[in-house]
Chains A and B, each alone.
Chain A
Amino acid sequence: MVTAKELASRPERFYPGHRACSGCGFPQAIRFVLKAARNPVVVSVATGCLEVTSTAYPYTAWNCSFIHSAFENTAATMSGIVGAYEGLKRFKGDDNRQLDFIAFGGDGGSYDIGFQALSGAMERGHDFLYVCYDNGSYANTGVQRSGATPRGAHTTTTPAGDRSHGKPQFRKDLTGIIAAHNIPYVAQSAISHWRDVVTKAEKGLAVKGPAFLNIMAPCRLTWGTPPEETIDVTRHAVESCFWPLYEVEDGNWVLNFRPKKKRSFIDWLRRQRRFSHLFRKEKENVNLLQELEDEVENRWKRLLERCQEPH
């Protein structure tokens, strides 16, 4: 287990001075993952907040090789980079230096528009780590719904209104879908648990073949939370079992964190402005709130079964 002190001594590859919002979740995710890399890193990033806030020409926050191509193709772009690396080994003999390859995408670039390229790259087996920083919306374009947006959340394309309770559908389980690709390493983590992020990124980089890491990293504009609460609202998501921390290593499901005492999922909703419409007339929405809670509970139970944990 890495210590904070040791982590601080490792090279910084994502520099301060980027233009992410105060209280934004993804800079922590990016820094933790990059700190896990022990070799020089090549990064590919999907279009999104991460890219636009870190590369405004002529500035860059990246102290490593970096490419941004488009929104939906970061996994495909990385396929070509890893392909060049592998191909050069054959052309030049085995004298290549060791490099770590990491592709980053938000939930829009991973769950939705980039899903095909992600699935294709995982199936083909390229040796790189794909990291999704999941904030549950298309934040870069001004908070529209994504496949990762939770049911009931207000977004600018699923606004709460007289006939709307926010997003009507439950969220897609991308981590589970990628696990079904039977790749060497799949994990879910959250920026509130930095050691968990670093450990999982290290594991993902160490395996031969593709690895996938889904990190909850809130957007406070999407979630409607004060900047100083970003870490705690993430921890609350984990401790209410909305966002469990687990990993799938060679098909073996392992639960990494089980709260001694579950925090209230309803309270987690209550502290975010995107769910505030559900509590304005709370009694009218009691059934909906129950459905939301039941879904979290059902998904948690299914995960416990997969991890062979007692209920």
Chain B
Amino acid sequence: MTSDTVKNTNEAPVQQEKPAASYSALSGNEAVAQAMRQIEPVVVAAYPITPQTDIVQNFSAFVADGLVRTEFILVESEHSAMSAVVGAAASGVRAMTATASNGLALMYEVLHITSGLRLPVVMPVVARALSAPINIHCDHSDFFGVRDAGWIQLMSEDAQEAYDNTLQAVLIAEDPDVLLPVMVGLDGFVTSHSIENVALLKDGVVKDFLGKHRPHTNLLDPENPVTVGPLALQDSYFEFKRQQAEGLRSAARVIDEVAARFEGISGRQYRRIETFNTDDAEAIIITCGSTAGTARYALQRLRQKGLKVGLIKVRCITPFPAHEVRQAVAGARSVAVLDRSMETVTEGGPLFVSVAAALAASGGKPPIMRSYIYGLGGRDIHLSHLDEVYRSLLDTSTDRQPADVSPQVEFLGTH
């Protein structure tokens, strides 16, 4: 996480000890599988897809060894995986799946049904490029491609965060003010297959943290028969959706509340955005996922040379922390948003567009903004790329008016 010479402007309290945890060398997928073992959903329905497959395989081993009592449904597609999870969650139990890339795309229809039925499902998504051309490596086109599906979306920087976010997601989803599914992103291969030192909480600590699931819908209760998923026409559909929007709005507060509780058991602090040296920064990079780590290292080296650079790592993609981003960016002269996906590329990447919308709502003079696309299909991003972005931002003329800057999308590291 935060290296010694980088100032975390969130002022995380220094933890003298990591309570109730043990360290293990785990890949991101193994860490997520451990979280799933500790959550012990009553139903897991999953279909293997690279680079998520390890999660399914690890969980299969937990089932085979009797470490979980979970009903593990090995479905014939991701569409059926999410459909089975909908059926299980509507039956009043914790239910999970995990997927990536084309599998997430195949689920698209049912993603909307899950959020529309207000089912508190948790799903790790191992971010991978979408076809075509087919490519199994990391980018965020899958994850950002489903931003409008009504799910809460948390993005993880490393295996530890993937584990921590997965546990927190359960309580976020089940909060009565939220009742929405949560997607936990981690970078394909970069995070999913890299082995890190991961602090796992003790099983009992997780169990106490998660508590008992108190479902709002239970198909298995015949004394209270309910019609789930009715036809809602012009006179009622809009009200269902209006209430759903309220759930997503409440999520921002609940995500922070759950993070505070999680800090109490883990010592690890989570916010919807993490800021580094933004207070006095002239040039700020905004990004998410594993690249935040590389960017932090680049920042550290440039700070040592006296350059006023800052970094914002966005953990909560949906609902987008517009207020927090506005505050963190205030005072900066120029901002670059680094997107690892292709959507809306003519106006900038999806994270760029979210940031731009957030800043457009602020009163003051907005900074110069640049959109960078990087790392599609697993293309490496190097320190030199991040140096290039920071230096380009610092070179930006102060008298240039933002209105004059047509949104120009730059591609980092293409041939």
Contacts and interface: CB of A to CB of B under 8 A. Distances in A.
A61 B227 CA distance: 9
A88 interface: yes
A76 B220 contact: no
Nearest to B229: A68
Contact of B225 (A62, A91, A120): A62
Interface in B370-388: none
Contact of A69 (B77, B83, B236): B83
Contacts of B42: 83-84, 87-88, 91
Interface string A52-92: 10011110101111111110110011111101111110110
A214 interface: no
Given A55-B230, A63-B225, A70-B113, A81 B90 contact: yes
Given A65-B222, A76-B87, A77-B87, A88 B227 contact: no
A77 B91 contact: no
Interface string A95-112: 001010000000000000
Given A62-B227, A80-B43, A91 B69 contact: yes
A67 B90 contact: yes
Contact of B220 (A66, A73, A84, A90): A84
Give the bracket for the number of chain A residues in contact with chain B: 35 or more
A78 B70 CA distance: 17
A301 to B, nearest CB: 34
Contact of A76 (B75, B90, B222): B75
Given A64-B222, A80-B85, A80-B91, A56 B70 contact: no
A72 B89 CA distance: 18
A44 interface: yes
A181 to B, nearest CB: 12
Nearest to B89: A80
A80 B221 contact: no
B394 to A, nearest CB: 51
B292 interface: no
B165 to A, nearest CB: 24
A72 B75 CA distance: 14
Given A69-B83, A69-B86, A57 B113 contact: no
B92 A84 contact: yes
B80 interface: yes
B113 A80 contact: no
Nearest to A40: B222
B76 to A, nearest CB: 3
Contact of A87 (B71, B75, B109, B236): B71
B357 interface: no
Contacts of A56: 230-231, 233
Contacts of A69: 83, 86-87, 110, 113, 117, 229
Most chain-B CB neighbours within 10 Å: which of A56, A57, A117?
A57
A116 B43 contact: no
A247 interface: no
Given A66-B227, A67-B229, A79-B87, A87 B70 contact: yes
A62 B88 CA distance: 20
Interface string B88-111: 111111010000000000000110
A70 B83 contact: yes
A90 B93 CA distance: 13
Contact of A79 (B75, B79, B236): B75
Contacts of B225: 62-66
B76 A78 contact: no
A134 interface: no
Given A73-B79, A73-B110, A87-B42, A44 B87 contact: yes
A54 B84 CA distance: 23
Interface in B188-229: 219-222, 225-229
A239 interface: no
A42 B220 contact: yes
Contacts of A60: 227, 230
A124 interface: yes
Counting chain A CB atoms within 10 Å of each CB, the highest count among B86, B87, B89, B219 belongs to B87
A57 B73 contact: no
Contacts of B86: 67, 69, 77, 80
Given A70-B113, A99-B222, A116 B77 contact: yes
Contacts of A196: none
B171 interface: no
A2 B206 CA distance: 53
B337 interface: no
B83 A84 contact: no
B87 A52 contact: no
Contact of A116 (B76, B87, B92, B110): B76
B232 interface: yes
B211 to A, nearest CB: 15
A68 B230 contact: yes
A119 interface: yes
Contacts of B76: 116-117, 119-120, 123
B210 to A, nearest CB: 14
Contacts of A72: 79
A42 B217 CA distance: 13
A73 B80 contact: yes
A89 B220 CA distance: 12
Contacts of B77: 116-117, 120
Contacts of A41: 222
Contacts of A66: 219, 225-228
Nearest to B221: A65
5 contacts: A69-B117, A70-B83, A80-B89, A121-B80, A123-B76
10 A-B pairs with least C-beta separation: A80-B87, A40-B222, A120-B76, A80-B84, A87-B71, A84-B91, A76-B80, A73-B83, A76-B83, A80-B88
Interface of A: 40-42, 44, 51-52, 55-58, 60, 62-70, 72-73, 76-81, 83-88, 90-91, 97, 99, 116-117, 119-121, 123-124
Interface of B: 42-43, 45, 69-71, 73-77, 79-81, 83-93, 95, 109-110, 113, 117, 219-222, 225-233, 236
Given A84-B87, A87-B71, A117-B80, 9 more contacts: A60-B227, A60-B230, A65-B219, A65-B226, A73-B83, A80-B73, A80-B91, A81-B88, A124-B74
